Structure 1
Amino acid sequence: MQFALPPRRSPAPPYAHSSRFPRYRRKQLKTVAVLAIAVFTILYLLPRLFSSSSPSVVAPAGTASVVIVTVIDREQLSESYIKKIVENREDYAKRHGYANFFTSTSDYADAINDAPQTWAAAPALRHAMATYPYSTYFFHLSAHALIMNPSKSLKSHLLDKARLESLMLKDLPVVPPDSIIRTFSHLKANDVDLIMTQDGEDISPGSFVLRQGDFARFFLDLWFDPLYRSYMFAKAETHGLDHIIQWHPTILARLAMVPQRILNSYSKDSPSAGADGTYQDGDFVVRFHLCESTQGRDCEDEMESYYKLWQSKAKSQ
């Protein structure tokens, strides 16, 4: 009896594989590699985004750590007034090895367009940072202000980490008296890139300190955004600042609010000072807030008594 045998099959060659498998495997490995690189890049960059620490760049010898930025409206102020402001700033800078950056509102007229000239603070600070790329801090001070205590360096008075930590006002309504947005209670001095004060009504940008870096450029670009300049805020750049600090946590996360008299004391004739915001002898700065726009006030007359007091202090210190 014969049985049908299954047809013979040629044995498969040893180690044979489908011709499609290697291509699929290579494609799969390539995808995994790309994803791994993307994840590594994100994990590397995220901690450095808006980091308060700047890249390790060696500044040239003699670089000033602090630059004082003063924007002057030369069409509205007399030469004698401007001369006194410049003298005050230059004396202070010379004492502490700082630099001055004097500029005019007219330099930014094309950028500001039809908005109030007080918006010039933002492009002026960008201009100063480009001019002094290795300096760390930029101290914006209104032309309607005098540095009254020349012996106090900005570093010991405000910028030292322990000193700043002791001054920071935490869990404070950002816009007085009762804004629902409050300064962060967990913020540390190492996180701070922007130091400001309030008066009795608003954040007060006539005197503040900004640290050079990515955050500073982001902050100034946001503040100077055409949308805010065209919005016709009642107090122009001040209300624009109120808005972005309240509604942009990225800004609030780098902001330290300090008591008004630390950086921004108002003269006795200035309106809207905070509860303890009026100048007292020994304060760092006196500012003649709104002297140029308040009926019955004259900036030059108001400055004169403070200027003479500053001169006597400068000679004795």
Structure 2
Amino acid sequence: MHLAFPSRKTSNPPQYLPSRTPRFPTLRRSRVQAFVVGALVVGAVLWLISSISGGGERIPSGTPPVVIVTVVDEESYGQAYVKNVKENRREYAKRHGYTTFFPSVGDYDLGGSPVSWAKVPACRHAITKFPHTTYIWYLDQNSFIMNPELKVESHIMEKKRLESLMIKNQPIVPPDSVIKTWPHLKGENIEFALTQDKDGLAQGSFIVRRGEWAKFFLDTWFDPLYRSYNFQKADTHALEHIVQWHPTILSKLVLIPQRTLNAYNPAYYDAKEGQYTDGDFVVRFAGCDTVGRDCIKEAEPFSKQWRTIFYAR
């Protein structure tokens, strides 16, 4: 029987082999390090300069700060009425360097939902069409801008102005909704401004700040799930639903006094704090498309009035 013996170690171990010479000499390596450090320093300086000078997105020269979006329905209201509405918006926009966007109610696939939903994809479309504009102002077709001197920025959206206008701790759906507007909201955090009427959120005139939050908000509002709920007031009730159930939206929303942005025709609205008064920014004929009312007739006296104000010289 053979026994296994451990192999014998040699008494002459191999000599120590030094490690390879570095690929880069020490001098060259120090130069690379110096270059990297220098690049980082230059990058930091450029970032600092950019921050001091405004930084962020660079808005091309000539970009309108506000786009007024109005979805028009010429088939139902007639060419003359729609032409009048467009002229009103264009004349106002011209004074302040704004622009207008007039998609048709038939431009969007609403999947069988009421046509009032068209405002939502229209605003989303405007964000794509005007990628550098700061504010999207949606203004319903059944309304006129009445005070051409007021600017969206200074009259409403400037931070301090918003803080002076905001209605804090207000039930989203009056009079007793348990979900209320935030009491400590700051002007710089606001992305969405609108008003209430006596029934709830009034989305016939609202302003949204263009950006990623606005895209998220509009996409959420237009979600097929909400459109399939068959809310009694369609997009209005859907908006109230998502505002109350999504803190991400509520935390960026501000309610402002109704007459600041969305005064109603006093002949058909009995809440005095929301009735149009001469000098107000906007008048809307809210509900004029319901049985027993006529939008074209209701618009006539205000049409004459806005023309007198705008073209007075």
Q: TM-score, normalised by structure 2?
A: 0.81
Whole-angstrom distance in 2 between the partners of 1:165 and 1:81: 37
1:269 CA displacement: 3.2
Match of 2:87 in 1: 87
Partners in 2 of 1:165 and 1:223 — Cα distance? 25
Deviation at 1:146, TM superposition (A): 0.2
Match of 1:103, SS state, is: coil
1:290 to 275, 287, 292: 287
The residue aligned with 1:308 is 304
Shift of 1:178: 1.1
**Residues 134-174 of structure 1 deviation map (CA, whole Å, 9 limit, x = unaligned):** 00100000000000001111111111111111000011111
Query: What is the letter of the counterpart of residue 218 of structure 2?
Result: L
1:134 paired residue among 132, 135, 138: 132
CA contact (8 A) 1:200 1:275 kept: no
Equivalent position amino acid for 2:240 in 1? D
Counterpart CA distance in 1 for 2:235 and 2:280 is 26
Structure 2 distance, partners of 1:104, 1:152, is: 27
Q: Which of structure 1's runs of 4+ aligned residues deviate more than 4 A?
A: none
CA distance in 2, matches of 1:55, 1:127: 27
Distance 1:101 1:56 in 2: 26
C-alpha change, 1:85 and 1:55, in structure 2 (3 Å) is farther
Q: What is the match of residue 103 of structure 2?
A: 103
Which structure has the greater CA radius of gyration? Answer: 2
Alignment-mate amino acid for residue 235 of structure 1: K
Match of 2:121 among 123, 137, 143: 123
> How many correspondences in the alignment?
263
Match for residue 63 of structure 1?
Answer: 63
- Taking the aligned partners of 1:268 and 1:276, their CA distance within structure 2 comes to 10
TM-superposed deviation, 1:55: 7.8
Once the two structures are superposed, the pairs formed by residues 171-250 of structure 1 within 5 Å of their partners are: 171-250=169-248
Note the alpha carbon deviations across 1:69-118, whole angstroms, 9 max, x for none: 0001222111110111011000000000001011111001x2x1111011
Deviations 1:217-266 (A, max 9, x none): 11001100111101010000000001000111000000010011000000
The CA deviation at 1:275 is 4.8
Letter paired with 2:285: F
Structure 2: runs of 5 or more not aligned: 1-53
AA of the residue aligned to 2:250: L
Tell me the distance in 1 between the aligned counterparts of 2:101 and 2:285: 20
Q: CA deviation at 1:270?
A: 3.3
Q: The residue matched to 2:168 in structure 1 has which SS?
A: coil
| Aligned residues of 1:196 and 1:204 also touching (Cα < 8 A) | yes
Distance 1:55 1:100, change over 3 A: farther
**For the residues of structure 2 that align with 1:56 and 1:270, how far apart are their CA atoms?**
47
Distance 1:120 1:245, change over 3 A: same
Q: Report SS of the residue matched to 2:240.
A: helix
Equivalent residues in 2 for 1:30-41 (5 A)? none
> Hey, what's the Cα distance between the residues in 1 that align with 2:55 and 2:177?
36
Residue 259 (1) aligns with residue 262 (2): no
* Aligned partner of residue 163 in structure 2, secondary structure: helix
Paired residue secondary structure (1:269): helix
> Using the alignment, how far apart are the partners of 2:128 and 2:134 within structure 1?
12
Amino acid at match of 1:291: C
Paired amino acid for 1:306 = F
**Shift in Å, 1:60:** 1.4
SS for the counterpart of 2:299 is helix
For 1:143-154, what aligned pairs fall within 5 Å after superposition? Answer: 143-154=141-152
Contact kept, 8 Å, 2:73 with 2:82, in 1: the verdict is no
SS in 1 for 2:203: strand
> Secondary structure, in 3 states, of the residue corresponding to 1:115?
coil
Find the counterpart in structure 2 of residue 160 from structure 1. 158
Q: Distance in 2 between matches of 1:157 and 1:265?
A: 15
Distance of 1:167 and 1:74 partners within structure 2: 35
- SS, match of residue 76 in structure 1: helix
Identity %: 50
SS in 2 for 1:232: coil
TM, length-normalised to structure 1: 0.80
- The residue aligned with 1:46 is none
1:6-45 equivalences under 5 Å are none
Give yes or no for contact 1:198–1:274 (8 Å, CA) kept in 2.
Answer: no
Q: For residues 253 and 274 of structure 1, do their structure 2 counterparts lie closer, same or farther at Cα, with a shift above 3 Å needed? A: farther
